[in-house]
Amino acid sequence: MQSLPLPPKVKLANLPTPLRPLDRLTQQLGGPRIWIKQDELTELALSGNKVRKLEFVIADALQQGCDTLITCGGVQSNHCRATAIAAARMGLRAHLVLRGPMEGVQDGNLLLDNLAGAEISVYDGHYFVANLEAIFEHWKTKYLEQGNQPYVIPMGASNGVGVWGYLSATEEILQQASAFGFTPDALVCATGSGGTQAGLTLGCHLLNPTIEVHGIAVCDSAAYFNAKTKTDVSEWAQRYSNLFDQLPSPEDLTAELSVSSIDRYIGPGYAQGYPELFETISSLASLEGVFLDPVYTGKAFYGLIQEIKQGRFANAENIVFVHTGGIFGLYPYRNIFENRAIKY
């Protein structure tokens, strides 16, 4: 396997994260062997997949002389929490632009954002969606006036720079799989802002195009993520072709790219659950000791199991599910799960 050139990165993640088989689940399903890539364990207080992208994005910010990271997401955004903690780790300032409504209590990720010392601005949901660029401009100007150097990180750190996170993770996964003596037939991940899917899709395209990559959407449509993956990869190719001896043009590269997004497991909407999702979360926790979250990984894993049952992977021997983190997202759903404690 050829090894990838890399642009500058800061070290935030503890790599490699473990890859291990879920053999009780595999036996129960009677299908391909399912492996889990434990990227919930990257670092920054279980910040999951965002840590890998931030390693490259923050290096880019530092290269530009920036000292203030401005980013956005929902009130319980894992990405915003990761950015807040990464900023504290690096001695930078973080400003989070959050999409309301703000729930009554300071819980989960918002609690961690506050403890990590981030500046936090919460906007009404409709206003946020309609005016995000203007809000970013407002805060950028404010920081420039104060003599700071702001750097805007887009939603989920999913852009041409962030692609590196899962491009290099693909190499890590293939090396680990090879040490176990197999080549995955497919990699499967949750997809929310598209950067993880884009990195894995590009990674397999460059390193081993026989491996399928499937992004299971937690919002938006398959068409949206197919296009978003190509946009991120095109941006990446425009920016980094100089690192490679021969890379097709961005147009050719994105035309060659085989992108698969599956949008049948979103349920009622982003961060809105359904009974089969909650059932998947509790059964995997007791069967394998693996904790999924209701917003991202739970939907993706439920989708993977359904796709296996429907025969999509009939010819596959090994599938790697990329666990992207999100455990703090489980707590707001605490009342849905049965309390099995017996009081004596």
Ligand X SMILES: *Cc1c(COP(=O)(O)O)cnc(C)c1O
Q: How far apart are CA 120 and CA 118, in angstroms?
A: 6
- Binding residues for ligand X, rule CB under 6 A, total 20
297 binds ligand X (CB under 6 A): yes
Among this protein's residues, is 3 annotated catalytic?
no
170 binds ligand X (CB under 6 A): no
Contact region for ligand X (CB under 6 A) — 101-109, 179-187, 193-201, 238-246? 193-201
Ramachandran quadrant class, 220 (left: phi over 0; alpha: psi -120 to 50; beta: rest):
left
332 binds ligand X (CB under 6 A): no
C-beta separation of 96 from 84 below 8 A: yes
Cis amide prior to 5 (ω within 30 degrees): no
What single letter denotes the amino acid at residue 126? H
Contact region for ligand X (CB under 6 A) — 12-20, 25-33, 192-200, 284-292? 192-200
Which DSSP string corresponds to 17-85? PPEEE-HHHHHHHTSSEEEEEEGGGSSTTT-THHHHHHHHHHHHHHHTT--EEEEEEETT-HHHHHHHH
Which one of residues 68, 193, 226, 318 is an interface residue with ligand X (CB under 6 A)?
Answer: 193
Q: How far apart are CA 33 and CA 182, in angstroms?
A: 11
Contact region for ligand X (CB under 6 A) — 109-117, 138-146, 206-214, 318-326? 318-326
C-beta separation of 232 from 158 below 8 A: yes
Looking at beta carbons only, is 303 or 325 nearer to ligand X? 325
Question: Residue 211, SS3?
Answer: coil
190 binds ligand X (CB under 6 A): yes
C-beta separation of 171 from 1 below 8 A: yes
Which one of residues 68, 168, 170, 196 is an interface residue with ligand X (CB under 6 A)?
Answer: 196
Q: Cβ of residue 191: shortest distance to ligand X, in angstroms? A: 4
Which one of residues 159, 324, 330, 332 is an interface residue with ligand X (CB under 6 A)?
Answer: 324
Please give the backbone phi and psi of residue 92, each rounded to the nearest 5 degrees, phi first. Answer: -110, 170
156 binds ligand X (CB under 6 A): yes
Q: Cβ of residue 301: shortest distance to ligand X, in angstroms? A: 11
Letters for 40-79 (x = contact with ligand X by CB under 6 A, - = none) are --------xx----------------------------xx
194 binds ligand X (CB under 6 A): yes
301 binds ligand X (CB under 6 A): no
Q: Cβ of residue 157: shortest distance to ligand X, in angstroms? A: 8
List the structure tokens of 138: 């407002």
C-beta separation of 205 from 174 below 8 A: no
Catalytic residues: 77
The residues of the shown chain that bind ligand X, judged by CB under 6 A, are 48-49, 78-79, 156, 158, 190-197, 293, 296-297, 324-326
